[in-house]
């Protein structure tokens, strides 16, 4: 059976690597051939919104999925019922718009920061007055890894932020003074079977995920997170992996954003869970039984940015698993990650410190 993946980045690559053992085959669609996914599977090159290429992909494949949340939705809708597309397009569409996302969280009773849509400097000024400072002005669309965001410390920052982002559809969000961030990843199959990965704690640097540790043992937070994701899975009649990042404020969770796909904060599951998020995404969209999402040991996943460290220095660390995405170097580009799996949380924490000492430049 052949699966079509729109977007051939590292997420697509890891989906293919997880799917080959199941006997699946893959065709990617992306702009250029020498992509992380295109290096190990068929690839159709061209634009994500080219109807002819999407049709060609659909004709070859039993099911389509995507590895990027900003894939244009309209051309996929035009494909109609030619081929199943999972996760569902209404989840993709919601995840592309911070305002729609916030409105959905609110509708489902999932706490978020206070927010307001803003379409002019006057609206921005008024909204900032209501929400208070500091607050965050963000583009509603296409923001990721901290891009398209401005932190407003006071009224004096309004004009510059508007200068930078005005003209885009924008949302102003109250700044959440959170303790730390966690991710909850869930899988739901087309058969309705649902499972949850252990909570992961995330640390960022320069607005980009730096490392995640899992399982993060906070049963009360995990129970809230699972409840919230369960509502979303039901709402969308979801199929595939769904990720939500939450701010932790004491014992409360505040939803930050959703991703209708496998997620960087779940890369630890390749070696650190019985079944990886990538394999479970494929099982879920194909209606196969889900694999055990529980943890094996205690993991830390560190992103490798810019360029890959030399392999021998990494591989000499016991229990470390290296993932090179086959990308050319570029400052702050995610070129790989590595995952440390240990028998105890304390060994993992000590190992992570060693790792951070070894690969500081690679990590940001």
Q: How far is the CB of 24 from a copy of itself (least distance, A)?
A: 8
Of the candidates 31, 251, 274, 330, which one interacts with a copy of itself according to CB under 8 A?
274
Closest to 15 (Cα-Cα) out of 266, 334, 245: 266
Residues 6+ positions from 32 with CB-CB distance below 8 Å: 38, 45
Between CA 278 and CA 272 the distance in angstroms is 13
Judged by CB, which is closer to a copy of itself: 201, or 323? Answer: 323
Is residue 363 within 8 A of residue 305, CB to CB? The reply is yes
Between CA 128 and CA 123 the distance in angstroms is 8
Judged by CB, which is closer to a copy of itself: 158, or 355? Answer: 355
Between CA 265 and CA 261 the distance in angstroms is 11
Q: How far is the CB of 325 from a copy of itself (least distance, A)?
A: 8
Q: Which of residues 282-321 bind a copy of itself (CB under 8 A)?
A: 283, 288-289, 291-292, 296-297, 308, 311-312, 315-316, 318-319, 321
Summarize the chain as % helix, strand, coil (round to 5).
Answer: 35, 30, 35
Site string for a copy of itself, 1-40 (x = CB under 8 A): ------------x--xx--xxxx-x-------------xx
**Using the 8-state DSSP alphabet, how is residue 22 labeled?**
G
Judged by CB, which is closer to a copy of itself: 112, or 190? Answer: 190
336 near a copy of itself (CB under 8 A): yes
Q: How far is the CB of 96 from a copy of itself (least distance, A)?
A: 30
Burial class (CB within 10 angstroms; exposed 0-12, middle 13-18, buried 19+) of 311? exposed
Stretch in the footprint of a copy of itself (CB under 8 A) among 48-56, 89-97, 230-238, 323-331: 323-331
Of the candidates 41, 127, 225, 262, which one interacts with a copy of itself according to CB under 8 A?
41
Q: Which of residues 154-183 bind a copy of itself (CB under 8 A)?
A: none
Strand partners, 203: 211
Residue by residue, DSSP assigns 347-359 as HHHHHHHHHHHHS
Q: List interacting residues with a copy of itself (CB under 8 A).
A: 13, 16-17, 20-23, 25, 39-41, 274, 283, 288-289, 291-292, 296-297, 308, 311-312, 315-316, 318-319, 321-326, 336, 341
């Amino acid at each position: 059976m052949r699966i079509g993946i729109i977007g051939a980045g590292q997420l697509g690559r890891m989906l293919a690597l997880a799917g080959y053992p199941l006997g699946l085959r893959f065709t990617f669609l992306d702009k250029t051939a020498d992509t992380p996914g295109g290096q190990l599977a068929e690839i159709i090159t061209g634009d994500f919104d080219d109807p002819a290429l999407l049709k060609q992909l659909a004709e070859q494949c039993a099911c389509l999925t995507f590895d990027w949340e900003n894939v244009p939705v309209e051309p996929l809708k035009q494909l109609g019922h030619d081929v199943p597309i999972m996760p569902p397009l209404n989840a993709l569409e919601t995840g592309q718009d911070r305002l729609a996302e916030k409105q959905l969280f609110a509708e489902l009773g999932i706490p978020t920061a206070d927010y307001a849509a803003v379409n002019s400097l006057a609206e921005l000024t008024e909204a900032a007055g209501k929400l208070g400072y500091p607050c965050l002005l963000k583009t509603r669309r296409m923001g990721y890894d901290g891009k398209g965001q401005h932190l407003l410390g006071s009224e004096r920052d309004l004009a510059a932020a508007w200068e930078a982002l005005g003209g885009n559809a924008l949302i102003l969000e109250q700044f959440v003074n959170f303790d730390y961030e966690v991710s909850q990843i869930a899988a739901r199959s087309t058969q309705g079977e649902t499972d949850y990965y252990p909570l992961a704690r995330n640390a960022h640097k320069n607005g980009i995920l730096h490392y995640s540790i899992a399982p993060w043992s906070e049963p009360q937070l995990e129970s809230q997170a699972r409840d919230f994701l369960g509502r979303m899975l039901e709402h969308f009649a979801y199929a595939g992996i769904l990720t939500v990042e939450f701010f932790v404020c004491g014992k409360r969770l505040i939803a930050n954003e959703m991703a209708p796909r496998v997620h960087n904060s779940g890369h630890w599951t390749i070696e650190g869970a019985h079944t990886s998020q990538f394999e479970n995404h494929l099982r879920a969209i194909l209606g196969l039984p889900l694999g055990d999402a529980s943890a094996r040991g205690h993991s830390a996943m560190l992103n490798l940015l810019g360029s890959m460290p030399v392999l021998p220095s990494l591989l000499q660390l016991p229990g470390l698993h290296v993932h090179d995405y086959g990308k050319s170097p570029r400052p702050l580009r995610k070129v790989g990650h590595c995952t440390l799996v240990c028998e105890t949380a304390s060994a993992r924490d000590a190992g992570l410190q060693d790792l951070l000492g070894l690969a500081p430049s690679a990590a940001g």
